[in-house]
Amino acid sequence: MRLNTCSTALALSLLVVGTLAAQQANDERQEFGIIVGELSGGNPNASTPTVPGALTLDSGVAFEASFASKIRDLNFGSVYWEVDGLAGPMRYLAGIPATATHELRSVYLTPGVRLQFMPKEALSPWVAAGAGYAFYDTSGSSIAGSTTGGGTTSTAGTTNTYAVDFGAGVDYAIGKRYVLRGEVRGFYTGSPNFGVPTPGGQFNLVIGGGIVWRFSK
């Protein structure tokens, strides 16, 4: 049920932004960006008072790709719709309980909008927000080196859940076609399956930089 709900919400989001893009003139500016950064860690079970200790999720490398198309120009900037995808290939856990999973992989796909200020200047700040889908995959091997959950069958596995994306950044134009981008994004999602109880959601912060290619239809 959760997977079906997330898939439906994502499909509707893509349909809306796709319809907006199709209504624009053929000379609308589009962008494709590649960002490399660091995906934050945290303490997944810190809010569980009955756990004598805490899990620690390490940070890890993140790879991000985004596509954006301008919706309209405003007096103070430009509005874009965008589809942002981010993958965190591997993060590791340590701490207590040692029956929790040792490895976490993450993927986020969040359509949304971006407001670009002073788009014709060399330095152009922006803010963005979106919502979509998060996928988590956890290892069946626990921190202690045995089966996740402490039994004969692993209690870890995949999780499909919602994702809310918000962020800000600065673009520096190095020509008509190319832009250097620095950004900070936050992804708030449902909780991954760590193999042990972890109430609440999961917040993931990404700090990164990369290059954006601007082009027309």
Task: Give pLDDT tens digits for 56-105.
Answer: 999 999 999 999 999 999 988 999 999 999 999 999 999 988 999 999 99
Residue 9: strand, helix, or coil? helix
Give the pLDDT band of residue 49 (cuts 50, 70, 90): low
Give the pLDDT band of residue 54 (cuts 50, 70, 90): confident
Q: 83, 75, 74: which is closest to 20 by C-alpha?
A: 83
Most confident of 22-36, 140-154, 174-188: 174-188
The Cα 73–Cα 61 span in angstroms is 35
Can you give the pLDDT at residue 29? 85
Average pLDDT, the chain: 86
Q: For residue 7, report the phi and psi dihedrals to the nearest 5 degrees.
A: -65, -40
Mean pLDDT of 124-147: 95
Residue 109 token pair: 């796909």
Residue 172 burial class via C-beta count within 10 angstroms: exposed 0-12, middle 13-18, buried 19 and up:
middle
Q: What is the β-pairing status of strands 60-73 and 55-57?
A: unpaired
End-to-end CA, the chain: 38
Secondary-structure class of domain 2-216 per CATH: mainly beta
Is 50 exceeded by the pLDDT of residue 12?
no
Is 80 exceeded by the pLDDT of residue 48?
no
Q: For residue 3, report the phi and psi dihedrals to the nearest 5 degrees.
A: -65, -45
Encode 16-51: b = buried (16+ Cβ within 10 Å), e = exposed: ebeeebeebeeeebbbebebebebbbbebbeebeeb
Torsion, CA 188, CA 193, CA 196, CA 201, rounded to 10:
10
Can you give the pLDDT at residue 47? 60
Give the pLDDT band of residue 43 (cuts 50, 70, 90): confident
Encode 178-194: b = buried (16+ Cβ within 10 Å), e = exposed: ebebebebebbbbbbbb
Give the pLDDT band of residue 53 (cuts 50, 70, 90): low
Is 50 exceeded by the pLDDT of residue 1?
no
Cis before 97? omega within 30: yes
